Amino acid sequence: MPSVSTKGHNMPESPIRKLVPYAEQAYKENKTVYHLNIGQPDIKSPKVAMDAVAAHSLEILAYTRSEGSEPYREKIANYYFHNKIDVDADDIIVTTGGSEALLFAMGSICDEGDEVIIPEPFYANYNGFATASGVKIVPVISKIEDNFALPPISEFEKLITPKTKAILICNPGNPTGYLYSQEEIKTLAEIVKKHDLFLVADEVYREFAYDGLEHYSILQEDGMEEYAIIIDSVSKRYSMCGARIGCLVSKNKQVISTALKFAQARLSPPTFAQIASEAALETPQSYFDEVIVEYTDRRDTLVMELQKIPGVKVGVPKGAFYCIVELPVKNSDDFAQWLLEKFDLDGETIMVAPAAGFYSSPGVGLNQVRIAYVLKKESLRRAVEILKAALKAYPN
């Protein structure tokens, strides 16, 4: 009997999506499920983007350029200029979501067996991208007690080996909501320049910074032209997750020319989604101002309610729309499945993402979950009420 590949066997399940069959069964049992497990905003996509697709005049849905249409890339470059990032259209490759940009980045800078240092917990799919690329993740653990702050520089430097090719961060962070300070970015820049590494920054949540704080990009830092690679996406910024449009950005010409070969191999990014994404760049600032106010209120509501539950710890996010929550349970995978299979409060339950999948270190995060506060405040309050009741009833 033929067997699947070792790589396929080692490919991790998504901690975000693997519980979907249990949620579907809960629906069949007429339960209401509050989805705290996935970062799908309930904010409407910009009307200007939706209208652009509806008003198209295309007669043939043809291929676009492998690096993305030139007008779109020029407008992306203009967007970055207004965010104090100096790049031009030739520094940008449009990808099928930020996910493909990460795969292109790993494929362009790493060989089989090379290492990438990542502060954990981190976006769960980094594990999958690394497995698909034959790359080894070397974790630097950040802790909920420190609100997931960047570990000391010594923690990074002692992990660097001849196999190390890059440091990868998510800023603001998924799943922690941690926002890197300008000083921390400068520290990371010093490390990669000293050791001749790449610094890859997943900046898809750039607009989501709270409490008067501002996002500081790795490409705002002087002297990073040859070292910096940005991963970006329209998914969260414009609440357009289904568009599957992202980009890889670097001023390192060798990185861009190499990534372009990966882009050519998959032909081109989707045409209609580029039309929508190009139009989305005309979204007025008022849209983002309103979104920030809404997510700040949601964060404050969620954190305040969680802190009322005995035995629960929560990291307070400064950006994005996620937080890590430590629960008084031994195994959050079991707890999350039990919530959907065997528990309800007046016909309602919740779906969370077990946090162990956001680590690469074995045995870490087993009593944690990630919560996405992408629901309205009244739904978040009800969800925490359900969580509190569930923790009292949970047999383990």
* d(C-alpha 119, C-alpha 37), whole Å: 21
Q: Are 111 and 291 in contact (CB under 8 A)?
A: no
Q: pLDDT tens digits for 77-105?
A: 999 999 999 999 999 999 999 999 999 99
**Residues 332, 337, 340, 341: is their CA dihedral positive or negative?**
negative
Q: What residues contact residue 58 under an 8 Å CB cut-off, 6+ apart?
A: 271
- In this prediction, residue 396 carries a pLDDT of 81
Reported as a pLDDT band with limits 50, 70 and 90, residue 114 is: very high
Q: What residues contact residue 350 under an 8 Å CB cut-off, 6+ apart?
A: 33, 34, 36, 339, 383, 386, 387, 390
**Residues 149, 154, 160, 165: is their CA dihedral positive or negative?**
positive
- In this prediction, residue 108 carries a pLDDT of 98
pLDDT, the chain, mean: 96
Distance of CA 389 to the CA centre of its chain: 30
Question: pTM of the full predicted structure?
Answer: 0.96
Mean pLDDT value across residues 131-146? 95
| Helices 20-28 and 332-341, axial angle in degrees (round to 10) | 20
Q: What residues contact residue 40 under an 8 Å CB cut-off, 6+ apart?
A: 241, 372, 374
Q: pLDDT tens digits for 343-373?
A: 999 999 999 999 999 999 999 999 999 999 9
Tell me the one-letter amino acid at 291. Answer: V
Structure tokens at 232: 């970006």
Q: pLDDT tens digits for 189-216?
A: 999 999 999 999 999 999 999 999 999 9
- In this prediction, residue 208 carries a pLDDT of 96
Mean pLDDT value across residues 132-158? 91
- In this prediction, residue 17 carries a pLDDT of 83
- The DSSP symbol for 243 reads G
* d(C-alpha 195, C-alpha 166), whole Å: 10
* d(C-alpha 184, C-alpha 169), whole Å: 11
Measured CA to CA in angstroms, residue 32 lies from 23, 24, 28, 348 at distances of 9, 11, 10, 5
Half-sphere exposure at residue 35, Cβ-oriented, CA atoms within 13 angstroms: 15
Helix (H) or strand (E) holding 184: helix 182-195
- In this prediction, residue 170 carries a pLDDT of 97
Q: What residues contact residue 354 under an 8 Å CB cut-off, 6+ apart?
A: 15, 332, 333, 335, 336, 365, 368, 369
Q: What residues contact residue 192 under an 8 Å CB cut-off, 6+ apart?
A: 166, 167, 198, 199, 227
Cβ count near 43 (within 10 Å): 15
- In this prediction, residue 3 carries a pLDDT of 93
Residue 279 three-state SS? helix
Q: Identify the CA nearest to 116 among candidates 105, 51, 355, 241.
A: 105
- In this prediction, residue 18 carries a pLDDT of 84
Between 141 and 381, whose confidence is greater? Answer: 381
Query: Domains of the chain by range and CATH?
Result: 6-44+286-393 (3.90.1150.10), 59-280 (3.40.640.10)
Reported as a pLDDT band with limits 50, 70 and 90, residue 256 is: very high
Mean pLDDT value across residues 160-171? 98
